[in-house]
Copies of this chain bind each other. A is one copy, B any other.
Amino acid sequence: MNRREFLIRSAGGLAAATTGRLASIAAAQQATGTKPVRLGVVGLGNRGTHLLRLALAVPGVQVKAVCDLNEDNINRAAEIVQKAQGSEPVRYSKAPDDYSAMVKRDDIDAVLIATPTKWHCPMAIEAMKAGKHVGSEVPAGFQLQELHDLVKTKEATGRRYMLLENYLYMRHIMTVWNMVRAGVFGEPYYAECAYLHDCRFMLFKQDGSLDWWGDWAANNFGSDYPTHAMGPVSKWMALNEGDRMEYCTSMMTSPRVLKQYAVKKYGADSPQGKIDCALGEFVSTQIHTVKGRVIRLDYDVNSPRPAVLPYMIQGTKGLYDSRHGVYVEEEGKGEKWDNLQKHQEQYDHAYWKRDAESAQKAGHGGGDFFAVRDFIEMVRQDREPWIDVYDAASWSVLYWCSRESIANRSKTVDVPDFTSGRWKDADWRADNHRPA
């Protein structure tokens, strides 16, 4: 809990905060109102197209330009924009450096990036250097150096950067966030999160060649998609605000299933059947914080299994485990799990109370709706977002950390501090936007 939240929670503080900082924030929102937000969008595959539609639905948004080297993608996007706002966006689809041309336009405020991951960092950096704010799909990047560069560029340019981590906004995640902040579970000290989702169908294109994701998995290994899992847990534990991830270890099972999958699909003698995939099935990473708290981050996109996205947080008074429910210690109550639903009304987040209907239509448990809206508001208000570049870098770098550990017999790897020590002050981000 940081100072601002403490103020808000305590009775006297609420009045003080309302007349003070909160009032000024409300005033700022009032002032910006539906001030136009002009976007360029890059990467218009399925995901980018979905985000494009959501962005266009936010009042005041104008999509000025779209960028994708695939002609079908760009045509589809242009049509969607034309239909929504009555004017065609400018198309950037000819040469690889078309993106550079787009970010130099002086009629866009921000760039929305939904390309394959390896372009996230370079494109975000280029956009900020060109004076544009950035909303980036997850993860922020793969490599240690590019994440450092991302943070440095953000700091040097003063632009805003938000990671579009949609899972953070799911209703049960935000409800538990409210419960944690209300002290229901006491001090949280242990958490689990995982992305367990059989994604083998994404490895090959219809023509049998490796998709960008398959190509990545064939040549790299580690926890390369950590933010859906880490985001919620990081916010529940208020990481980077008084505590931070200090070191981690990671373990991976040797690759077995992907080979078997390719052989079955294309035959043992096919080029696909001969690929020796670098990514094993199960990757388990354990993270230790400066304050002696532990987080487990699991990842498996290859095993034959139903998808499960478990989240768990244990505190000194009780726990939430998405596989079981809620337990809060109480004299004479016994060891009984409650359904989270029982706490839903009391701890439902204001976002959901106000906009559940619109959110639920938007996909990914409503997360996409709020993520895009917060991104637009970041641009409109020119204000640091909830999921800032420090969260983005510290969650995303877990891929690099896990790879280092796995490659070296699970040795301990230090998690970089992207905040330059500012994490020690629990309140250093008190002026950031925070969903309320």
Contact = CB atoms under 8 A, between A and B. Distances in A.
Interface of A: 187, 189-190, 198, 247, 249, 251-254, 256-257, 260, 280-282, 284, 286, 288, 291-294, 296, 300, 303-308, 314, 316-319, 323-324, 327-329, 335-337, 409-412
A324 B198 CA distance: 16
Nearest to A293: B253
A286 B256 contact: no
20 contacts: A189-B281, A190-B253, A190-B281, A190-B282, A190-B303, A247-B409, A249-B249, A249-B251, A251-B286, A253-B294, A256-B316, A284-B294, A284-B296, A286-B286, A286-B410, A303-B314, A304-B318, A306-B335, A323-B323, A409-B412
A202 B291 CA distance: 27
Contact of A251 (B256, B294, B336): B294
Contacts of A189: 253-254, 256, 281-282
Contacts of A257: 316
Contacts of A282: 189-190, 294, 314
A410 B249 CA distance: 7
Nearest to A246: B409
B409 A411 contact: no
A294 B198 contact: no
The residue among A260, A294, A296 with the most chain B CB atoms within 10 A of its own CB is: A294
Given A249-B412, A251-B294, 12 more contacts: A190-B281, A251-B286, A253-B292, A257-B316, A282-B294, A284-B286, A288-B409, A304-B318, A304-B328, A305-B319, A305-B327, A306-B327
A415 to B, nearest CB: 12
Contacts of A249: 249, 251, 286, 410, 412
Nearest to A408: B412
Contacts of A410: 247, 249, 286, 288, 412
Nearest to A198: B335
The residue among A284, A304, A306 with the most chain B CB atoms within 10 A of its own CB is: A304
Contacts of A190: 253, 281-282, 300, 303
A294 B256 contact: no
A144 B247 CA distance: 27
A316 B303 CA distance: 7
A178 to B, nearest CB: 20
A410 B283 CA distance: 17
A317 B260 CA distance: 10
A119 to B, nearest CB: 31
Contact of A304 (B286, B294, B316, B323): B316
A318 B251 CA distance: 20
Contacts of A335: 198, 305-307
